[in-house]
Structures are given as structure tokens and as C-alpha cells.
């Protein structure tokens, strides 16, 4: 399931709901992304999406992950709008028969979300506002998966 919304969420509650009632899934892995204060440099993070397109693009990569890692299920929940330090921005959960696939799929989905999913992120702080672009490390992270085509 893919949800892009302004509504805050509780990662614990999402995990409980995602894990419940599964009897053939041996592994659930999750990632929770939290807005950083950057030692006072960032007071608010503003996230923008392209409604419809953003969900569809994440859906495409989610299908790719589902096939690639033989997932049973996955959940991507991403906030947009204004987010304060300490609030959750993103939650990804993956369910697979075994742990390796669940871990790797979660990692893959996050690498994709950081640098290729249609979101735009503006950091507001005491020194003004700036648009945040992916760092070189983010590009290197997603490029790891492009090489691994022989899975």
C-alpha cells in the first residue's frame, strides 16, 4: 500500500497493523525516517509531492521491489506539508518469507525514495529556506541496486 498524506502517523501503530494476522510471513522489516533539527539549523521541513504522479511512481518501484525480492507485502507511508523536527516523515515496511529479502527490499525502497521519488524538500531555518537536493551519497546508494541485476 502506498499512502502520501499530510497526516502525521505513529510508526508503531503502522507496524502492529502491518504485522498482524500474518502466518506465512517469517520476516517484517521496517524503516522510520524522522525530521532532524540539524542542531537548530532546521526548524521546519516542507515536503511537496505531485498528487497522483507521486503515488503512481512509488507504486511502480514498489511492484519492482515486490518481484525482485519476492515480497509478500509492503507499505510505504510518506508525509507531505510542513514537518517539525522529531516528527516522522516516512515509514516503509516489507514482509517476506525470510529476513534477508525483507531487509534488502526496505533498504532498496528507501534508497529510491531519497533520490528518485517525486518529492521536493525545503528546509526552513533561522538563516532562511533552502531546497534540499539528494547528496552524492544518496545517488551512490541507489546506484548500488542498478549494478545488482543478476539477482
Partner 1 sequence: MAKVLLFGPLRDLAGWRERDVEDATSISGLRARLAEEDERLGEALSAPGVQVALDQAIVRGDRPIGVHNEVAFLPPMSGG
Closest CA to 68 of 32, 111, 31, 33: 111
Cα–Cα distance measured from residue 29 to residue 25, given in angstroms and rounded to the nearest whole number: 11
Q: Which three cell numbers stand for residue 146?
A: 542498478
Judged by CB, which is closer to partner 1: 66, or 122? 122
Distance in Å, CB of 134 to partner 1, minimum: 5
H/E stretch holding 113: helix 99-115
Q: Are 45 and 123 in contact (CB under 8 A)?
A: yes
Distance in Å, CB of 96 to partner 1, minimum: 21
Judged by CB, which is closer to partner 1: 38, or 53? 53
Distance in Å, CB of 119 to partner 1, minimum: 3
Judged by CB, which is closer to partner 1: 25, or 109? 109
Which residues of the chain form contacts with partner 1 (CB under 8 A)? 33, 47-48, 50, 52-53, 56, 78, 89-90, 110, 113-122, 131-134, 138
Residues 6+ apart with CB under 8 A from 137: none
Distance in Å, CB of 25 to partner 1, minimum: 25
Amino acid at each position: 500500500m502506498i499512502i502520501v498524506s499530510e497526516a502525521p502517523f505513529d510508526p508503531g501503530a503502522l507496524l502492529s497493523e502491518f504485522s498482524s494476522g500474518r502466518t506465512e510471513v517469517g520476516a517484517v522489516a521496517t524503516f522510520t525516517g524522522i525530521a532532524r533539527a540539524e542542531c537548530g539549523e532546521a526548524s521546519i521541513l516542507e515536503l511537496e509531492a505531485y498528487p497522483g504522479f507521486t503515488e503512481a511512481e512509488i507504486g511502480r518501484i514498489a511492484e519492482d521491489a515486490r518481484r525482485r525480492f519476492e515480497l509478500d507485502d509492503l507499505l510505504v507511508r510518506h508525509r507531505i506539508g510542513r514537518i517539525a523536527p522529531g516528527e516522522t516523515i516516512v515509514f516503509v515496511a516489507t514482509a517476506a518469507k525470510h529476513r534477508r529479502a525483507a531487509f534488502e527490499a526496505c533498504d532498496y525502497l528507501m534508497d529510491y525514495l531519497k533520490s528518485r521519488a517525486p518529492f521536493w524538500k525545503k528546509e526552513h531555518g533561522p538563516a532562511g529556506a533552502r531546497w534540499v537536493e539528494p547528496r552524492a551519497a544518496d545517488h551512490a546508494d541507489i546506484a548500488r541496486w542498478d549494478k545488482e541485476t543478476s539477482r
